[in-house]
Structure 1
Amino acid sequence: SMLITEVDLSPDLSNAKIFYTLPDKSKDKEASLALKKAAGFIRHELSSRTELRYTPQIHFQYDDSLDRANRLLSLMDGIETNPNE
């Protein structure tokens, strides 16, 4: 499964950058290739389902912000606090 975390649309609506994350980061390369292959189909479907004058080019990018947040939380959990200080 995949989670779309954010979509950035350029001001002129010509480009859409879609950020995604995966529960299993080891599948990122495989997912990236599949998304790249599917981008044209997704763009065609978007075009047929919306009334936009121009359909944006679609670009997918793995979102590592959740990975970074989890690493930070893990580091914070590892910090021992002294309640006497």
Structure 2
Amino acid sequence: MARIRVSRVGEQIKKELSQIIQQEIKDPRIGFVTVTAVEMSGDLQQAKVYVSILGSQSEKDESIAALDKAKGFIRSEVGRRVQLRHVPEIHFSVDHSLDHSDQITRLLHDVRDED
């Protein structure tokens, strides 16, 4: 039962974070950022947020730095929008799954072209 609540809270936070990052934060260092997943700890005190960022590695680093700088504002907005007793600590991490899938696709195309 607790895992279901953790999952539901994670999905709600993911939805709210997406809206906050897209609409509320006006930092020009934040490029095209998509929230791909949120992993919540069992006690709902920690939220690991995976984001996909388009651009070069330096642009990704700048976007993560800008998100870390805005973490206090983001956390307060999440607290205002999601009714929880304690607002979780938010930790941003780059999601490399899209880069990995692109690499696999390129490799498969190379193998197919060789045949």
TM surpasses 0.5:
yes
Which is richer in strand? 1
Task: Return 5+ residue gaps in structure 2 as ranges.
Answer: 1-31
2:61 is the counterpart of 1:32: no
The counterpart of 1:10, out of the listed 29, 32, 41, is 41
Higher relative contact order, structure no. (Cα contacts within 8 Å, ≥ 6 residues apart): 1
Three-state SS of the structure 1 residue aligned to 2:106 is helix
% identical aligned pairs: 35
Q: Which runs of 5+ in 1 are unaligned?
A: none
Alignment RMSD, CA only? 1.3
Q: TM-score, normalised by structure 2?
A: 0.67
Post-superposition Cα deviations, 1:53-75, rounded to whole Å, max 9, x if no partner, equal: 00000000000011011001100
Taking structure 1 as the reference length, the TM-score comes to: 0.89
The reply to whether residue 61 of structure 1 matches residue 62 of structure 2 is no
Larger Rg: 1
